Chains A and B, each alone.
Chain A
């Protein structure tokens, strides 16, 4: 649908400039280029202008104007998205990093109201003062924004205990594609007041509206934390350990799986000197000293039953932080192994975890590519890295392998994405993942954005939204 949208003209630039001031917009080539790609290994798609609004009203004016002018609008927070949510059709890019304030902390209610551009770690650092935190803990937490997290329903290392972003979003102020501002949700944890439009917005990847204010519920910082690692002689033993820990209802805060090659990668990245083994589990428990010690004891028993060759407990905060820093950098660190890589983000019912891992290696063998597996195994979420050391020709095979695994996952009742979202990358799976429900999603998109100016080409093809 080339030619469907209007280009940003000199007059449009004038409008945006009048609205935001000259400091809050850029058409410099360098700024456009650096906003044209995220962490997905895709192509560069340059916006025609970058805008930095500072208020909800400014966002609303930008959208109203762009909607009328039929100019596409894309959104960017930390730019760490892994699914290619970039300006495929050019147009306006709203960069939300200047809307980065904490508006209110309701300490007694354990809630916070923030603007979308605040970085996850910055928010939690501030919340420490109140003994509170926002738990999802994505690996990209030092860079990603709360707006981006809500838009992707991000989660992370502690989801097995604390859940995902959607479990914490109580309220949203949303600017709709035509510029209308609506407030969704409530400051109460429960409500029964008709359709839950709030939850519909979570995970919408910038296709239904721009979140300009976000109310989150929070948790108390844990009183006591212990982190341990265990090394296993086989993948089977490690996965069985995860299964038994979850099946026995043991209250772990994190249980991360790392395979043989990835142990070497993370060990090299953070100079950890981890022993060689087939698989490693990184486990953390939160609670009181007594409860944590009990949890760890139960985990250790199961690990030993499963022939763990070595079990270590982090001796201090420094060691714990180093272990987590290594785990958080695992995905990008994989590029130490090879030049070309794509990552899958599938989720399976936990009874299927072992099959999923073994199947991934099998697919890798079939396509003659390398495979590394890590994941938030406590909630069945696998990140499979499909890599090729230096053979550019194999990029196509990486995608084919990824697709094969995704289809298998859907067959066994899983999802093609646990936390990264659909973006451009996984559009092709939407129909098989959702069947008839996919049409309902399209209808919602058409209802809220009939001209499809907000993030066109993301989640849905433009042609499917506007005929």
Chain B
């Protein structure tokens, strides 16, 4: 099969999207990587990436799609989905680019191994938390991580907890009756932000829910970003199968991470397109949505004790998830005076953590860091990777919005 035919096949239904683009450039205006010190170059913008595909499929760009330089340019899309909101013809830009990147994926064996078994890898490390943390904190460990996995050595990761959230829930679950929630925790919360997960579980249990932890793998966003489409589909299928069983037994799916929410709500139905993933999507609700529902049903109210300023950072995934208005409403009900910042932090999941793109990610995030430092108030940001980037580079306190909101909640 010739290279064009192969690429056409790989892009599948997204090939239509390539031609839907009229090059208006609206996506450039919101795309974080198209508003940097390097995006004066058209090829390093969102519209530029689509033009490259149009040129390739019209035979103008005479290079194979897996060409290294070309792939590096496509890789400047880190999948934040801000463009989906503004693209008038509805070009599904990140989904299309994941396919295009799949054609040119070029990971070494170790990278591939770690990316596709990221969840198991984290699990392994969490079995030896102090050893893992010592390695992660040490210069040697950081260099090793950079050499082996390509994670930039300048990044400080949150530590592994002594016990994973999954284990904690199994040991400490206080209620087995009531409305059922199957918690799709995702890897990061499970091993690094256990405290947040515990707060979530305690609150929903008080509200009369019972929380279960289904078998689950990582959400798989990382695999999509890395162009490992086949692996992403496999992981999505496994997760859907597992969650589907819980739904059949009357449970709803709970998330607290926007990456997990987006995967279940939008990505899985998009990449699998089957009825099970659509049902999982319908039955997924984020803790933020749950709180809104409980508030509207009169089950919770907010005490007046909180005041003070909070900076609400619009993480890309929260914007794309449609949860923003609920978070803002809850923070306001909780008594905080909100200052909103729209700028992207530049992390883009694992994209900005890589050695290759860490400097780019600082470039993207530079305006945000300056702003946050000058405002010097606590920050609320829903995305876990945004919190890492903000903590590391703006040096300010940053928490999941739930942590601020839950402090003000009073049960009826």
Residues of A in contact with B (beta carbons under 8 Å apart):
26, 28-31, 33-39, 41, 44, 46, 50, 52, 78-80, 95, 97-98, 119, 121, 140, 142-143, 269, 325, 329-336, 339, 341
Contacts and interface: CB of A to CB of B under 8 A. Distances in A.
B114 to A, nearest CB: 30
Given A143-B29, A332-B89, A31 B43 contact: yes
B43 A34 contact: yes
Nearest to A333: B88
B22 A97 contact: no
Given A28-B43, A143-B25, 10 more contacts: A34-B43, A34-B52, A35-B42, A39-B23, A44-B58, A52-B40, A142-B26, A333-B90, A339-B19, A339-B20
Given A30-B61, A339-B19, A332 B88 contact: yes
Most buried by B among A34, A50, A79, A329: A34
Contact of A34 (B42, B63, B89): B42
5 shortest A-B CB distances, which residue pairs? A329-B88, A333-B88, A143-B25, A142-B29, A34-B42
A329 B26 contact: yes
Contacts of B73: 30
Interface of B: 16, 19-20, 22-26, 28-29, 40-43, 45, 47-48, 51-52, 54-55, 58, 60-63, 69-70, 73, 86-90
B40 A98 contact: yes
B42 A140 contact: no
A332 B26 contact: yes
Given A30-B70, A30-B73, A143-B29, A335 B22 contact: yes
A33 B61 contact: yes
Most buried by A among B24, B28, B45, B69: B24
Contacts of A332: 22, 24, 26, 87-89
6 contacts: A30-B48, A34-B45, A41-B22, A50-B42, A52-B40, A339-B16
Most buried by B among A30, A35, A41, A336: A30
Nearest to B39: A97
Contacts of B19: 339
Contacts of B54: 37
Given A30-B52, A44-B58, A80 B24 contact: yes
B206 to A, nearest CB: 34
Contact of B69 (A30, A41, A142, A336): A30
A97 B38 CA distance: 11
A28 B25 CA distance: 21
A31 B41 contact: yes
Contacts, number: 106
Given A80-B25, A336-B90, A28 B69 contact: yes
B89 A333 contact: yes
A80 B23 CA distance: 7
A318 B70 CA distance: 39
B3 to A, nearest CB: 16
A38 B58 CA distance: 16
B11 to A, nearest CB: 16
Contacts of B47: 34, 79
Most buried by B among A29, A35, A339: A29
Contacts of B61: 29-30, 33
A267 to B, nearest CB: 12
Nearest to B41: A31
Given A31-B43, A34-B51, A79 B23 contact: yes
Nearest to A80: B25
A98 B39 CA distance: 10
Contacts of B87: 332
Contacts of A78: 25
Given A140-B25, A143-B29, A332-B22, A31 B88 contact: no
B28 A34 contact: no
Contact of B25 (A36, A39, A334): A39
A419 to B, nearest CB: 15
Contacts of A37: 23, 51, 54
Nearest to A44: B60
Contacts of B45: 34
B99 to A, nearest CB: 19
Contact of B20 (A29, A30, A325, A335): A335
A301 B69 CA distance: 61
A33 B60 contact: yes
B16 to A, nearest CB: 8
Contacts of B58: 44
Nearest to B19: A339
A339 B22 CA distance: 10
A330 B88 contact: yes
A26 B69 CA distance: 14
B41 A33 contact: no
Contacts of B22: 39, 41, 331-332, 335, 341
B29 A121 contact: yes
Contact of A97 (B24, B40, B51): B40
Contacts of B23: 37-39, 79-80
A272 to B, nearest CB: 13
A357 B407 CA distance: 60
A146 to B, nearest CB: 15
A36 B43 CA distance: 11
Contacts of A143: 24-26, 28-29
Contacts of B55: 33-34, 36, 44
B29 to A, nearest CB: 4
A39 B40 contact: no
A221 B88 CA distance: 28
A341 to B, nearest CB: 8
Nearest to B28: A143
Nearest to B20: A335
A95 B24 CA distance: 17
A95 B39 CA distance: 12
Nearest to B90: A336
Contacts of B25: 39, 78-80, 140, 142-143
A343 to B, nearest CB: 9
A35 B61 CA distance: 12
Contact of B90 (A29, A80, A269, A330): A269
Nearest to A93: B42
B24 A39 contact: yes
A333 B87 CA distance: 8
B29 A269 contact: no
Contacts of A50: 42
A36 to B, nearest CB: 8
Contacts of A28: 43, 69
B51 A95 contact: no
B40 A329 contact: no
Contacts of A119: 29
Given A329-B86, A336-B90, A95 B26 contact: no
A142 B88 CA distance: 13
